[in-house]
Every structure is written in C-alpha cells, then in structure tokens.
Amino acid sequence: MRKPLILTIISIVCLTIISVACSYPFYEDNDDEVVIPTLAPQATAVVVEEQAVSTSTAVPTAVNVVLVDWDGQWTIWMGNSSKGYVVDFLVQGDKISGITVVANHNSISFIGTIQQDGGTVKGIWENTDGTSGEFSMHMDESEDVFSGRLSSSSAFCGRRTGNIKPSTCFE
C-alpha cells in the first residue's frame, strides 16, 4: 500500500516541476536582429491593349416628379364596408407606413414605396390575424382622396378630411 502512495507523490512532484519549468520563458537576447528570408521580387511583363475611351457625356433624362403629400391622418375604407378606420401615414423619403386598428382588436400595418410619379403608392399590408397581401393607392388631383386595391381584388380608398367614403373606392 505504501508503494502506490509513493508513486503518486513522485508523479505529482514531477508534474509540478515540469509545469513550472515550462511556464518560464527561455533566455532571449534582444540585441539580435530577426531576419526573415524572403525571395527577391521578380518583374513580370503584362501586355495591355489600348482601348478607345468615349469622351461624350450622357444626357440626363428629365423625370417629372409630382410632389404629393401623403403624410398625416387619413380615414380609410377597405372592401365593401362602410366602416371607416383612422390611419396616420408617416412618410420618410420615398417610404410610407401606417397602422390602423380594425375589428377584434386586430391591426393592419401598411408599408409601401411612393412611386416616381409621387401620386402612386405600392406596398404590402399585414394583419395581426396572420393575413397579408399587396396594396396600391392612387391620389386624385385634389390630393385629398385616394383610391386603390388590397390584394388586387378588394376596394381600398381614403380621405384626408371628413368621414364620407369616396365615390370611387376601387382602382
């Protein structure tokens, strides 16, 4: 029984000595310069063909941008319903977003992009009940009414002021 105990003690002492010895750095002389051997750079020849460069400049195309204000509070109607819902559209650059609360405490979010003409918006709507689809809105000349579609088959329209449903609610 003494022999295994002595072997265990000797093993622990040896491991301790080795661990301590390995943890100290070797002697370093900082006076020596370290030289890393590298190959000398070699020159390579590359043949490049000359190409003609156009000096003409492209003529910019004029884009008619209609400044339409989509920002603010709107009353919207969806489908054949006569019930209007209030949505507050927020415009940031060419992006538009808004949320309205509908029946059963659900809400619908609208996230879209104002098209280049300024009077058209296309985007995606999502209901908290899990349904979603695409929508489009087209502003009329008065900039007080828009008509459009939800998921290409349901009417969608809105009025900036008042709560009377526009006569054209599907486009």
Reduced 3-state DSSP string for the chain: CHHHHHHHHHHHHHHHHHHHHHHCCCCCCCCCCCCCCCCCCCCCCCCCCCCCCCCCCCCCCCCCCCCCCCCEEEEEEECCCCCCEEEEEEEECCEEEEEEECHHHCEEEEEEEECCCCCEEEEEEEECCCCEEEEEEEECCCCCEEEEEECCCEEEEEECCCCCCCCCCCC
Q: Answer yes or no: is 113 within a domain.
A: yes
pLDDT reading at 31 higher than 70: no
C-alpha 151/C-alpha 149 separation (Å) is 6
Residue 25 included in any domain: no
CATH assignment of the domain containing 145:
2.40.128.20
User: Is there a domain that residue 107 lies in?
Assistant: yes
The confidence band for 42, taking pLDDT boundaries of 50, 70 and 90, is low
Asked if residue 153 is part of any domain, the answer here is yes
What pLDDT, in 10s, does the model give residues 116-162? 999 999 999 999 999 999 999 999 998 999 999 998 789 999 999 87
Question: What percent of the chain lies above the pLDDT cut of 70?
Answer: 75
Q: Report the predicted TM-score, pTM, of the whole model to 2 decimal places.
A: 0.60
In a domain, 119, yes or no: yes
Taking residues 33-51, what's their average pLDDT? 65
How confident is residue 96, by pLDDT bands cut at 50, 70 and 90? Answer: very high
Q: What is residue 40's predicted lDDT score, i.e. its pLDDT?
A: 62
Interstrand relation of 154-159 and 107-114 (parallel, antiparallel or unpaired): unpaired
**Segment 47-82, tens digit of pLDDT:** 777 777 666 676 666 555 557 889 999 999 998 888
147: which strand partners? 138, 157
Mean of per-residue pLDDT scores for the chain: 83
The predicted pLDDT at position 18 comes to 79
Mean pLDDT of the region 1-23: 80
Paired strand residues for 109: 99, 126
Average pLDDT over residues 33-38: 58
Q: What does the pLDDT read at residue 13?
A: 85
- The answer to the question of residue 79 being in a domain is yes
The proportion of the chain whose per-residue pLDDT surpasses 90, expressed as a percent, equals 44
19 part of a folded domain? no
What's residue 60's pLDDT? 67
Domain span at residue 128?
Answer: 72-159
- Structural domains counted in the chain: 1
Residue 2 domain-assigned (yes or no): no
If we measure between CA atoms, which residue out of 129, 128, 91, 130 comes closest to residue 111?
91
